[in-house]
Amino acid sequence: SEETVKKLSKLIKDFPFPVRHIWHEDKGWRKNAILNRAAAAASSDYLIFIDGDCILHKHFIKEHINHRKPGTVLTGRRVYLSPAATSLILQSEDFRKVYSLPVVLRLLYDRYADQSSAHLENALYLGNMFLRKFINRKDRGVLGSNFSLYRNDLIRINGFDEQYTAPYVGEDTDLEYRLRLAGMQVKTLKHLAIQYHLFHQRQEKNTLNEEIFKKTKSEGRYYAEKGINQYLASGS
C-alpha cells in the first residue's frame, strides 16, 4: 500500500547502503511476479532471496557470498520459532533478541512441551567444513526463503513462473526442478546460512499449483512460460 511505501522510504534513509524498493499493488498472492521484477531491477550479478518473516543470522549474507559459484544454487535452512518466542521478539522490537536467554529457553520449552518450535538444530552454526560435511550427508532441496544464485542463471530459466498465483511449489519446488533440468547444481548451506522464521498462520496449499507443476514436468520444460523476460527491457 501507499502507507507501507511511505514508512519504508523513511526507514531506507537510515541504511548505510543504497536500497531500491520494488513494490506492486496488493492483488492477492503474486510473490513470483514481484521476485521477477526485483531480479530484473537488480544491479548486482548475484542474487540472495529471503522472506520478510525471517530473521537472518549475522553471517547469513557472508556465507552466501563466500560460497557462490556460477551454475550452482545455494540454499540454507531455518529454525521455526514458536508463537510465544515470536511474540517476545516482536514486543522487544529488536530482532537480536532471537539470541537472548529468555527466547532460547522459550524455544526449548515449546519444542518439548507442544512442538510449536521446530528444527532448533538448524540454529547450530558450524564453521568447520569437515564436521559440516559429516552432518550434511543428506541432499537438501531449495528453500524459497533462503537461497541464492547468479542473476544470469536465473534469467536462463526465465526466472520464477508467474502461472503460480498461490503459495507453495511455485517459489521453490518448481524453480529447483527447472534449475536442475537446465544443468545447475544445488549446494546446501545448512549450519552456515541460518534463518529464524517468525510464527504466523500458514495458508492452505492450492491443488492448482500441483497441476501446473505436473504439466511443467510432463513437458520437460525449464524455461518459465510467464517469467522474468517481460521485465528485463524496462529493468523493473
Q: What is the Cα–Cα distance from 185 to 122, expressed in whole angstroms?
A: 22
pLDDT tens column, 50-67: 999 999 999 999 999 999
Residue 1, pLDDT above cutoff 70:
no
pLDDT tens column, 97-115: 898 999 999 999 999 898 8
Q: Are 51 and 152 spatial neighbours (Cβ–Cβ below 8 Å)?
A: no
pTM: 0.91
pLDDT tens column, 22-49: 888 888 889 999 999 999 999 999 999 9
What pLDDT, on a 0 to 100 scale, did the predictor assign at position 235?
61
- Residue 134 to residues 5, 128, 138, 148, 191: CA-CA distances in angstroms? 45, 10, 10, 23, 12
Domains observed in the chain: 2-80+118-232 (3.90.550.10), 82-116 (no CATH)
Q: Are 143 and 76 spatial neighbours (Cβ–Cβ below 8 Å)?
A: yes
CB atoms within 10 A of CB 131: 11
